[in-house]
Structure 1
Amino acid sequence: MFRRLLITFTVLVLLLFGTALLLSARLRRVLLRFVTVMAVSAVVLSTIARMIRDFLLGLGHVP
């Protein structure tokens, strides 16, 4: 499930990046900053979700 979400997010980021190339320089900077923040937060959330899943599996629960 997380892999599918990450793939969808990556496609959206690539679409936003492609759109940013067509916009003015100021909007391009803002959009690239937004994409960078979203990409970093996606990696962080994915890591946290993996840690929680591993913790629950260690306790014997299967999410």
Structure 2
Amino acid sequence: MDWAHSRGATIIEGYPIDTPRQKYPSVYAWTGFVGTFRQAGFAEVARRSDTRPIMRKVLGDDREN
């Protein structure tokens, strides 16, 4: 996020997996898991399926928004 912000990015978007399963095949989970995105300050902005939320983080001047 710091790298993107330092180059002018104002929003970062990601497409993690949201699954109740304890184990998930890595070939399908390479985009990350929703819990990790939430811990990094991302918010869910849309959901096109049960397991695929669209997450965004707005980068502010303090880089923690």
What's the TM-score, normalizing by structure 2? 0.28
Higher helix share: 1
Which structure is richer in relative contact order (CA contacts within 8 A, separation 6 or more)? 2
Larger radius of gyration: 1
